Chain A
């Protein structure tokens, strides 16, 4: 383990967090809130500490996969620890555990809240909550890679560790340019959504917070009632953008930056996007039919089905209706698509559609293998062979995923109480970075009632889910903490 380069990255992270914290500071200035001082104070501490770390570890040495994983995992933990401080210092949140839960939930774009009433928070805290979604959606490290001119090809290890998906590739040869393109698309879509919401008559503050929440597929709302009380048009705009942010960003890259028609057509041939939209269409239609009796008109049922499906599959977690009260079929379907999640290379969480596709295809191969034992076939996606390593990676991912899931449920039931439905969906909803589950943690509930120990387990699940398990898991391997020693040259 090369500690120096990790300390340097953590220093960079803190410097950037100081920058991010200026957003609530400005908000506090606009609304004349005293809570702004807490944010400013933490920002200054972050800036000083970060600069110190960067300054002391200037020799930028090479690092490998393990340093990349550890650096990313620790970055997110450090980011959350410091990001939670202003909630407590400003007096908005009483316990640090709840503040940390809230921050991790924000950065990992989960949107699960441990607060009973968000309307009591200051504007500064509200926008900070939502802004962490926006930052966490595309990833802090990717943001740093886009801004900082970092040398060396080793940064790919960082990007791989932070970006979701079974195989992380580049759009263009240079990693910095790739990161810039991703953030460019992200920023552009965010601006468009905010403008549309303003045109649809939403209050500017709400529009900004909800846009951040949608873009990062987070799910923090600014009202206790969630999104229940916005107009159908505003909810409709959010539905469309939630689904849009769950699409693999390569789709937009091909579509917007493809020079030829052939390149643009590539976007529509992406089987992951097709699969994703197919699942959404099926779920919306069948849930619409299932809940048609609950609403005044079929259109209204469609509207709410579309919103909830879009919200759950992209792992956003906004709600315009309490789906906890819907018929069992709809509830089951929603929990199932919690697992699937959005596309790889999007801001959403979950297992990811491309992994599900690879899993289905490899299952099919295995079955055919029983019938024709000598059959040789490779799994193809988008007309290209998926290499064995990737398939193996997906299988291992699923195994590790189930392991963490089961262990979390068992641990929580050991310490805490609650119905099995509550606990299981709480784990599902945090692990997949969605937010609301069923029963107590349903769309109208929150996570406040859990014991602190449960909250810490769920926090781990959120981080593990966002970083795709392995960066968090390697932290538990003792041998990774052995420092790199360099042979001293004889004088």
Chain B
């Protein structure tokens, strides 16, 4: 597809990197020529310097032939205007980043009236991600498939877990829940396991299950609590605000620690149910006084990455809370991952991923049957969701009769809103949503999973 990206900041760059890898033709518009040079030097894209909302600049970038315009500059108004102009000039689909909470509350009206295909709000997305993680505090990350009917949860097996030394085929029986282990990370290795595989403590595994089964698994594994009852949030910025409202609506008690007195007053007006504390969280006494030792979850959301890292490390030493750390910078992931910071959320990366999902779905509506594509474990494994539109090679026969390629796993089949965790006797039917986990790349249709003997 031909895609124009306006804004070459962190989100823009992450998007460009991914979209290039997926083979799209990309033009990047940015008002700073330094940004343009940087992007064109590193990626195979065309750069246009200028104001993205200008019609002539968009023409230079090839708006007439573009399929999609993604506006991710730091100004909401510019993004909206970009999309409006693009819509009129090229008739393409448009995605805008809209982050101002005022616009956010009116986002459906804006989308409708301006003819946007999608809006993304990095802060809101980050908060949703954090809230989702807090639902299963033992998981490192959670992805949802098939409109929320299937979840992939990633977590670490602890020494005392019942999954320690457990054979794959015994899991469902032992835990009393229908789950399937999709990937096992052991050391540097990523394994897509078979039925004989034995799990060990220290493995990080990804499981596929319906939300109800996932909940049952966690309960039966007796891994801490099912979900947290209270949460301490440091930093009362926009993400903090969104997170607090989401948590409160789920009945989780929220304490927000914020440095600025003014902001505290604003917050207490916006979310009266939250416990707003005015104080400097880098002062350890403040944290201890407010009960960091007792809290069940701790989220550091200040605007400074370094501060967040220190806060989380401190929380780790004094409490058993589930910890979530917000990191803005996307470089240095390897270094950050080596620290024990609990779950890490990158608002910019989440934003980019939201957009990528839309782009993939849009492309798939043209070519393949892929509904969505998720990268697991830093892109080493992909989880693909296919919609089986018509009967083909894989339908209407037991899975045991299908010769799959190596390192391919059929993780779930969703039919009429019910998720089946497949076994050898399961059958794929027309209209099903099938999630396939694989370390091979480039699958376009469900039939690509079959081993044709040609490699």
A172 CB contacts on chain B under 8 angstroms: 25, 46, 62
Partner of A173, one of B27, B33, B42: B27
Expressed in whole angstroms, the Cα–Cα distance for A170 and B40 within the complex equals 10
B275 CB contacts on chain A under 8 angstroms: none
B47 CB contacts on chain A under 8 angstroms: 169
Asked if A173 and B25 sit within 8 Å, CB to CB, the answer is: yes
Q: Does B273 sit within 8 A of A, measured CB to CB?
A: no
Partner of B20, one of A153, A155, A260, A262: A153
Expressed in whole angstroms, the Cα–Cα distance for A260 and B27 within the complex equals 19
The SS class assigned to the B binding surface is mixed
B46 CB contacts on chain A under 8 angstroms: 169-173
Partner of A156, one of B20, B41, B59, B64: B41
Q: Does A175 sit within 8 A of B, measured CB to CB?
A: yes
Expressed in whole angstroms, the Cα–Cα distance for A152 and B17 within the complex equals 10
Partner of A153, one of B33, B44, B59, B62: B44
Asked if A174 and B41 sit within 8 Å, CB to CB, the answer is: no
B40: nearest residue on chain A (CB-CB)?
A156
Q: Does B43 sit within 8 A of A, measured CB to CB?
A: yes
A171 CB contacts on chain B under 8 angstroms: 46
Interface 1/0s, chain A 167-187, versus B by CB < 8 A?
Answer: 001111111010000000000
Q: Does A331 sit within 8 A of B, measured CB to CB?
A: no
A68: nearest residue on chain B (CB-CB)?
B41
Q: Does A397 sit within 8 A of B, measured CB to CB?
A: no
A174 with B42: in contact, given A153-B20, A387-B49 (CB under 8 Å)?
no
A175 with B33: in contact, given A153-B20, A259-B64 (CB under 8 Å)?
no
Q: Does B45 sit within 8 A of A, measured CB to CB?
A: yes
Q: Does A361 sit within 8 A of B, measured CB to CB?
A: no
Asked if B26 and A153 sit within 8 Å, CB to CB, the answer is: no
Interface 1/0s, chain B 39-57, versus A by CB < 8 A?
Answer: 0111111110100000000
Partner of A65, one of B26, B40, B41, B45: B41
Q: Does B2 sit within 8 A of A, measured CB to CB?
A: yes
A65 CB contacts on chain B under 8 angstroms: 41
A157 CB contacts on chain B under 8 angstroms: 41
A177 CB contacts on chain B under 8 angstroms: 25
A152 CB contacts on chain B under 8 angstroms: 44
B40 CB contacts on chain A under 8 angstroms: 153, 156, 170
Asked if A174 and B44 sit within 8 Å, CB to CB, the answer is: yes
B43 CB contacts on chain A under 8 angstroms: 153
Expressed in whole angstroms, the Cα–Cα distance for A172 and B62 within the complex equals 9
CB distance from A357 to the nearest CB of B (A): 19
Expressed in whole angstroms, the Cα–Cα distance for A57 and B64 within the complex equals 42
A450 CB contacts on chain B under 8 angstroms: none
Expressed in whole angstroms, the Cα–Cα distance for A189 and B167 within the complex equals 69
B26: nearest residue on chain A (CB-CB)?
A173
A260 CB contacts on chain B under 8 angstroms: 64
Interface size on A, residues (CB 8 A): 20
A489: nearest residue on chain B (CB-CB)?
B188
B4: nearest residue on chain A (CB-CB)?
A173
Asked if A173 and B41 sit within 8 Å, CB to CB, the answer is: no
Asked if A387 and B44 sit within 8 Å, CB to CB, the answer is: no
B188: nearest residue on chain A (CB-CB)?
A489
B42 CB contacts on chain A under 8 angstroms: 153-154
Asked if A173 and B64 sit within 8 Å, CB to CB, the answer is: no
Expressed in whole angstroms, the Cα–Cα distance for A153 and B47 within the complex equals 12
A156 CB contacts on chain B under 8 angstroms: 40-41, 44
Partner of B2, one of A155, A170, A173: A173
CB distance from B404 to the nearest CB of A (A): 28
Asked if A175 and B44 sit within 8 Å, CB to CB, the answer is: yes
Expressed in whole angstroms, the Cα–Cα distance for A175 and B64 within the complex equals 20
Expressed in whole angstroms, the Cα–Cα distance for A170 and B61 within the complex equals 11
Expressed in whole angstroms, the Cα–Cα distance for A289 and B59 within the complex equals 45
CB proximity to B under 8 Å, residues A108-159: 152-157
A174 CB contacts on chain B under 8 angstroms: 25, 44
CB distance from A298 to the nearest CB of B (A): 45
B49 CB contacts on chain A under 8 angstroms: 387
Asked if B45 and A153 sit within 8 Å, CB to CB, the answer is: yes
CB proximity to A under 8 Å, residues B1-34: 2, 20, 25-27, 33
A155: nearest residue on chain B (CB-CB)?
B44
Expressed in whole angstroms, the Cα–Cα distance for A437 and B392 within the complex equals 73
A389 CB contacts on chain B under 8 angstroms: 33, 37
Asked if B41 and A153 sit within 8 Å, CB to CB, the answer is: yes
A169 CB contacts on chain B under 8 angstroms: 46-47
Expressed in whole angstroms, the Cα–Cα distance for A260 and B63 within the complex equals 12
A154 CB contacts on chain B under 8 angstroms: 42
CB distance from A231 to the nearest CB of B (A): 45
Expressed in whole angstroms, the Cα–Cα distance for A157 and B42 within the complex equals 9
B45 CB contacts on chain A under 8 angstroms: 153, 173
CB proximity to A under 8 Å, residues B57-87: 59, 62, 64-65
Interface 1/0s, chain B 401-412, versus A by CB < 8 A?
Answer: 000000000000
Expressed in whole angstroms, the Cα–Cα distance for A155 and B20 within the complex equals 14
CB distance from B306 to the nearest CB of A (A): 24
Asked if A387 and B33 sit within 8 Å, CB to CB, the answer is: yes
Expressed in whole angstroms, the Cα–Cα distance for A387 and B40 within the complex equals 16
Q: A residues engaging B (CB < 8 A)?
A: 65, 152-157, 169-175, 177, 259-260, 262, 387, 389
| 20 A-B residue pairings within 8 Å (CB atoms) | A152-B44, A153-B20, A153-B44, A156-B44, A169-B47, A170-B40, A170-B46, A171-B46, A172-B25, A172-B46, A173-B2, A173-B44, A173-B46, A173-B62, A174-B25, A174-B44, A177-B25, A259-B65, A262-B59, A389-B33
| Top 4 A-B pairs, shortest CB-CB distance | A153-B43, A153-B44, A173-B25, A173-B46
13 new A-B contacts, CB < 8 A, other than A156-B40, A387-B49, are A152-B44, A153-B20, A154-B42, A170-B40, A171-B46, A172-B46, A172-B62, A173-B45, A174-B25, A175-B44, A177-B25, A260-B64, A389-B37
